[in-house]
Structure formats: C-alpha cells, structure tokens
Amino acid sequence: MKDYPVYNTYQTPSWCPGCGNFGIWYALKNAFHELGLNNHDITMVFGIGCSGNLSNFLKVYGFHSIHGRTLPVATGIKLANHKLNVLATSGDGDGLGIGLGHFIHTCRRNIDITYIIHDNRVYGLTTGQTSPTSPKGFSSKSTPFGVIELPVNPVALAIISGATFVARGYSGEIDHLASLIVQGMKHKGFSVIDVLQPCVTFNPSYSYAFYNPRVYKLEDTAHNPQDYENAIKLAMEFNDKIPIGIFYKTERETYEQACIELGENPLSEDDIENISIEDIIDDLLA
Amino acid sequence: MEKLFLRGSEALALGAIDASVKFYAGYPITPQNDIPEFLSRELPKVGGKFVQAESEVAAINMLLGASACGLRVMTSSSSPGISLMQEGISYLSGSELPAVIVNVMRWGPGLGGIGASQGDYHQATKGGGHGDYFVPVFAPYSAQEMYDLIIRAFDVADKYRTPTMLLVDVMISLMKEKVIRRFEKRSEVKIKSWAFGKVKEGEQKIIKSLYLKGNDLERHNWKLYEKYKVMCEKEVIYESYLCDDAEIVLIGFGMVARIGKSAIDIARERNVKAGLFRPISLVPFPEKELEAISKKCKKFLVVEMNTGQMVHDIQRVLGKDIDISFYGKPSSYAPTPEELFYKIKEQI
C-alpha cells in the first residue's frame, strides 16, 4: 500500500485513532491512482455519519447529501452526465436503514455507479446506537436489552435485488479493498462493495481482533463469481469464517444504456440553443 | 414531591414517563440522543415500548399506528429529522390523532450544524407539513419546564386529539438543574373511546384524513380550526417579568428568555426600567397578553437565535405604531446577559 496525497485536502481526518474509515480512505486513493484518475475525473456522493466526514478529506467533486439519500443523488448525477465516474459512499445506518428502499431500487436499475458501504454495524457519529447490521442481541444505547431484529445482509440483498457486481472488502486489507474498488469502478453497472469497517470506539466487539482471524479471500477458493447460487450461499456465511472478495459478477444492460433519451452526449452537454418546440405546439393545435 | 437534579433531556423523558407515555419511536440524530437513550433504558421498566425505527419517516408512522390504538405516544428528533416527519405530522393532524413530538433544535437549512439554534420557529408554528392545520407548540426554558411542559403536551394532545410539539433549545436540553417531580406515580389516562379495540362491538372505526364527498373536507377543516380557536382561549401560557413599569420589554422564547431574564436583573440593578415577556406556548401565541403590555410600554426588543422569525408574529400583533427592534444571533454562540443588557441600553 502506498499513499497518494494528491487526493488529500488540507484537512486531517477527524476519525478516532484506529477507525476502519482510514483503511477505506487509503484504499480509495490507491484505486484512483491505479485507474489513472485525476481529481476532476471523480465524482463522489457522501452520506451522513462518520463515513460522511470523508467528504472533507478527499479532493474530488464531492456532494455531501441527505441522510439515506446518497443513491438517488448519485443517480441524478449519472443521468445528467453519464460521462462522469460516479461513486457513492455511506454507512450501514445511512444506506441500509433510512436508505434501504433506495438501495434495492438502485440495484434493480443497474445504473453505472460504484457504491461503498462503510459497514461498522453501529451508529458511531451519534455515539453508539444499534444499526441495521448490528447482530441480534447487540446491546447499545438504544437497545440496552439487546436488538430484537435480525441484521440486514447487504451482500445477499444486493445479489437478489439485481446488482451486477457484489463484493465485500475489509478495512484491514487495504490493497485487497483497493483492488475491489478498481474492479467495481471498471464494471459497467451497479457495483456494491460492503466494507467490514471496525468502529473501535462504539463497537469494539467487531474490531480487527475479531475480523483478522476470520476473513478469507474468495479468489483463493474455487468460487466462480458467475455462479449465482453459490454466491448467495457464500453471502450467508458469517461466523468463524467470513468471506471477502467478489461474490457475484454478471453483465446486464445498464439503466443509462437503456434510456432512449440518453445519447452519446450527456444531457449536461446538450445544446439547448437551437431546440424548437414549434412542431409540438403545431401538433397540439392540430 | 421528589426533588431531583437532572439534565433537561432527562427531566423531559421522566416527565413523559410520569405522563404515562406507552410508546416511543425515533431515530438517532444529534443533539437529541440522550432523550431516547434514557427512554430505551427506562420505558420498558414501566411497561412501555421503545423502538429505534429505520428512519424518522418510519418513526412518525409508527406513532400514527400506536396512537390509533389509544396509547400515549411520542417521538423526539432534531431539525433535519423533524423535516422528515412533517408528512406524518400533517397526517396526525388530519386524522385527529394525539402524539407528542419533541424537536431539540440544531442549525439549518440542510445539514446545517449541531450547535444551538432557534431556526425552526417558522416550521414549528406555521405548519411545516402540507394542509390547513395548527399544532400547539411549547417552548421550555428550564429543566423544570422540560418536565412540566411534556406532561402538558400530552394532556393538550389528548384533549384536542392533535399532535403537539415541544420546541427545545439544545442548551436547555443539556443543562443540569433542580427539578421537582410533580407526580409520585404515573398519571392515569382516560380510555379513548374512539381508538381501535375500544369501539363498541359491531361498529366500524376508520381513522383517516381523506374526505372526498361533498363538503366533508370543508366541514373537517373548519372543525380543526374551531379546535384551534378554543386552544387560543384556553391553552395560552406565557411569563411576564417586571413588565408593569417597564420602559422597554425584551421578548424571547426558550433559552434566549432564560438569558434575557439575567439581562433584566442587570438592568434593574442599574435602575434601567426593563422587563421580559416570554411566550411559553408559541402556538397558540399569547396575543392578548402582549397587546395589554403594549398599552403601557412602547418599546420592544425581540431577541432570537436566528435571523428573525418570531419577530414577524410580534409585528403582526403589535402593529406598526409600536417601536420593535430585533437582535438576531444566527450562530451557535448564545448571547450573554451583558450583551443583551447593552442592546437594551442602546434602545433607550
């Protein structure tokens, strides 16, 4: 792993020492470098939560959006200018709690956006409430008697909802995560990367000490990412062994490719000077 | 009567429990997190249900459902979360369902910031959601009032079958001070004859806000308005401090009024005849009471932690002949008593 300060801003990250967000930050910079992207080649939409603070630390076109709404905002950007490399990032609370509906619909659309979930299984910025990926029984400030609900499984959900690139990364494996981001960004269609991101302050039971002995890489196994059924089977595995890598990858027409209104040129570059609506008016008056 | 030393947020949560709240649904957001933290721990102990919903939209809709069953229900949030709840607040009003909503204000518009602000006065008092309705709004200025007003908010909500709101300053929420607990045990709540499960056997009960036939909607909206007119007669609360001989009266709500009171004390020590008028119910607004003061005092200074919102209501009530000046602090830095005393002196 190397650092590429060209993507830094003047601000130093304010995350807690040891936060898994540092790993994602470095992996993103490595991925951008490997893809040969300049700062102005990258458009990123950020959510609310500790992950949203990333908007201050990455020198790219950044949109700090509403809680839970990163994907609709990113979709708007991609449809207005499909030449842009669009990424969205948010936490598990943002993307899988309040934003869960948007997540499923963006998977259905298969729009060419790369979505990174900072999955720390807790609300960190509000100092430790349960999140949609907190395990059953998890005790927190809002669930002192333990969580009743089952956790959301973002990997399985993405696969069955129609995302065409579904992977899981780990903040403790930065080079591996960077490679997933590179492949996700190269992929044409909606790519989802769920990142195991330790929150050492508010969810210490899921720290590096928990993940390090458990994670293993799918590319070291016989798994074929085209194998839908095995991908779902692997997505359900989260115990002594936790798979990271690409679960599922397929090709399907992207949303913007299927839009008859969108041509080679993005809408934002369309010339509206010479548009005439006279024919339409004539039709209406006929 | 128990004497306690509590944070405003804890006093509010305890007051809600003493008012027999049975259902809370909310979503994490700063700076109101310590209210749900208290209730998640304490509410189950007294047989109530606490839910962390998947969003503020889900939370307010859970309130609609629980309220329809006749429970006392509440939620709390901070400004952006309250914006998300506006749809539900409009539906609560239209469906005539009681519920209590607490807004511990932070900065806006947009994500704004998490510091102290009074930027939501317009949203709270002038609707926020769509349609023709009024939500009673109370603004506490001490931990004691956090306790007292949440109980009143539940009572008013039940009495008029309406959502009610507490518009809370973050400093009042985080400040720790003496609170006298009025109720030794939880208050008894009347059975609501209109609620699901309470209606007589064989009768149909529909809770709705849709009126398509004839002039049903017009009648419904006039009914909501009539309830508001009764509230204007019966539910106004305010405090008037040393206004009788005052040459200038400072007007503010919540935290600003708390600081303003110290400014009035400084003024009186220096023989400056200043008083304080503090609306506690922002809806209904203490119009007659303010008008009465303006018979004697001709100078008013309105102070708010925004660029001027309540001041429009003051201008509307007092008219153009009265000298009304405004001092706004649209930042996280509250005015100091000395600063307000200086502003008072500038005006006379």
Closest residue in A to B31 (Cα) is A126
For chain B, say whether A66 makes contact (Cβ under 8 Å). Answer: yes
Distance CA B324, CA B310 (A): 12
Cβ contacts below 8 Å, chain A against chain B, sum to 44
For chain A, say whether B160 makes contact (Cβ under 8 Å). Answer: no
Mean pLDDT of chain B: 95
Tokens read off for B193: 């004859």
Could you give the C-alpha distances from B145 to A16, A131, B100, B130, B286, in angstroms and in order? 37, 33, 15, 30, 18
Q: Are B168 and B12 in contact (CB under 8 A)?
A: yes
To probe the interface with A, which of B10, B35, B37, B50 has the most A CB atoms within 10 Å?
Answer: B37
Query: Percentage helix, strand, coil, to 5, in chain B?
Result: 40, 20, 40
pLDDT at position B121 is: 98
* Predicted confidence band of residue B204 (pLDDT cuts 50, 70, 90): confident
* Predicted confidence band of residue A217 (pLDDT cuts 50, 70, 90): very high
Mean pLDDT of chain A: 96
Residue-wise pLDDT tens digits, B231-245: 999 999 999 999 999
Q: Are B46 and B213 in contact (CB under 8 A)?
A: no
Closest residue in B to A100 (Cα) is B54
CB-count burial class (<10 Å; 0-12, 13-18, 19+) for B186: middle
Tokens read off for A104: 């499923």
Q: In what order do the strands lie in the sheet with A61-64?
A: A61-64, A42-46, A85-91, A114-119, A191-196, A165-170, A242-249, A215-217
pLDDT at position B184 is: 66
Query: For residue B348, how many other CB atoms are within 10 A of its CB?
Result: 12
Q: Chain A: give the shortest CA distance to residue B232, in Å.
A: 37
Residue-wise pLDDT tens digits, B246-297: 999 999 999 999 999 999 999 999 999 999 999 999 999 999 999 999 999 9
pLDDT at position A142 is: 96
Q: Are A149 and A113 in contact (CB under 8 A)?
A: no
Helix (H) or strand (E) holding A23: helix A21-34
Residue in A97, A123, A126 closest to B55 by CB: A97
pLDDT at position B116 is: 92
Phi, psi of B307, rounded to the nearest 5 degrees: -95, 10
Could you give the C-alpha distances from B121 to A23, B43, B93, B252, in angstroms and in order? 42, 30, 19, 12
CA dihedral A25, A26, A31, A32 (to 10 degrees): 70
Alpha helices by DSSP H, chain B: 8-18, 34-42, 56-68, 79-95, 121-125, 143-160, 170-174, 216-234, 255-269, 287-294, 310-318, 337-347
Buried-state track B148-169, b at ≥16 Cβ within 10 A, e below 16? bbbbbbbbbbbbbbbbbbbbbb
* Interchain contact, A141 vs B37, CB within 8 Å: yes
Task: Classify residue A201 by its DSSP letter.
Answer: T
pLDDT at position B185 is: 66
Q: Chain B: give the shortest CA distance to residue A50, in Å.
A: 12
Q: Quick one: angle between helices B79-95 and B56-68, nearest 10?
A: 30
Residue in A67, A98, A144 closest to B41 by CB: A144
pLDDT at position B159 is: 95
The pLDDT of B308-330, averaged and rounded, is 95
Chain A, 118-147: which have a CB under 8 Å from a chain B CB? Answer: 123, 125-127, 129-130, 132, 141-145
pLDDT at position B257 is: 98
Q: How high is the ipTM of this complex?
A: 0.87
* Interchain contact, B33 vs A141, CB within 8 Å: yes
Query: For residue A118, how many other CB atoms are within 10 A of its CB?
Result: 29
User: What ranges make up the beta strands (E) of A4-136?
Assistant: 42-46, 61-64, 85-91, 114-119
* Interchain contact, B52 vs A68, CB within 8 Å: no
- DSSP-assigned letters across all residues of B80-109: HHHHHHHHHHHHHHHHT--EEEEEE--B-S
Helix (H) or strand (E) holding A195: strand A191-196
Cα angle, residue B202 at apex, residues B199 and B203 outer, rounded to 5°: 50
For chain B, say whether A108 makes contact (Cβ under 8 Å). Answer: no
Name beta bridge partners: A118.
Answer: A91, A195
| Residue pointed to by tokens 């293993």 | A216
Q: Are A32 and A7 in contact (CB under 8 A)?
A: yes
* Predicted confidence band of residue A241 (pLDDT cuts 50, 70, 90): very high
* Interchain contact, B33 vs A127, CB within 8 Å: yes
The pLDDT of A61-71, averaged and rounded, is 95
Domain boundaries, chain A: 5-260
Tokens read off for B15: 């007051």
Helix (H) or strand (E) holding B5: strand B2-7
Residue in B28, B50, B54 closest to A126 by CB: B28
Residue-wise pLDDT tens digits, A132-164: 999 999 999 999 999 999 999 999 999 999 999
The pLDDT of B206-231, averaged and rounded, is 95
Task: Classify residue A57 by its DSSP letter.
Answer: T
pTM for the model: 0.92
Q: Hey, is B240 helix, strand or coil?
A: strand
CB < 8 Å to A47, chain B: none
Chain B, 18-57: which have a CB under 8 Å from a chain A CB? Answer: 27-30, 33, 36-37, 40-41, 44, 50, 52, 54-57
pLDDT at B313 over 90: yes
* Interchain contact, A129 vs B28, CB within 8 Å: yes
pLDDT at position B348 is: 86
The pLDDT of B315-333, averaged and rounded, is 92
Q: Chain B: give the shortest CA distance to residue A38, in Å.
A: 29
Phi, psi of B38, rounded to the nearest 5 degrees: -65, -45
* Predicted confidence band of residue A271 (pLDDT cuts 50, 70, 90): confident
* Predicted confidence band of residue B64 (pLDDT cuts 50, 70, 90): very high
To probe the interface with B, which of A126, A130, A139, A152 has the most B CB atoms within 10 Å?
Answer: A126
Chain B, 61-80: which have a CB under 8 Å from a chain A CB? Answer: 80
pLDDT at A66 over 90: yes
CB < 8 Å to A142, chain B: 28, 36-37, 40, 50, 52
Name residue B74's amino acid: M
Residue-wise pLDDT tens digits, B40-61: 999 999 999 999 999 999 999 9
Q: With respect to CATH, is domain A5-260 assigned 3.60.20.10?
A: no
Phi, psi of A3, rounded to the nearest 5 degrees: -110, 145
Q: Chain B: give the shortest CA distance to residue A98, in Å.
A: 5
Kindly state the percentage of chain B with pLDDT values over 90. Answer: 89
Distance CA B138, CA B337 (A): 23
Q: Are B48 and B73 in contact (CB under 8 A)?
A: no
For chain A, say whether B126 makes contact (Cβ under 8 Å). Answer: no
Buried-state track A216-225, b at ≥16 Cβ within 10 A, e below 16? eebeeeebeb
Q: Are B316 and B98 in contact (CB under 8 A)?
A: no
pLDDT at position B25 is: 97
Name residue B305's amino acid: M
Q: Hey, is A156 helix, strand or coil?
A: helix
CB < 8 Å to A56, chain B: none
Distance CA B156, CA A204 (A): 44
Tokens read off for B23: 């259902």
To probe the interface with B, which of A46, A129, A140 has the most B CB atoms within 10 Å?
Answer: A129
Q: Chain B: give the shortest CA distance to residue A198, in Å.
A: 20
Domains along the sequence of chain B with CATH: 2-188+209-234 (3.40.50.970), 239-347 (3.40.50.920)
Kindly state the percentage of chain A with pLDDT values over 70. Answer: 100
Q: Chain A: give the shortest CA distance to residue B106, in Å.
A: 14
Closest residue in A to B110 (Cα) is A66
pLDDT at position B127 is: 83
pLDDT at position B190 is: 79
* Interchain contact, A126 vs B33, CB within 8 Å: yes
Residue in B44, B52, B80 closest to A145 by CB: B44
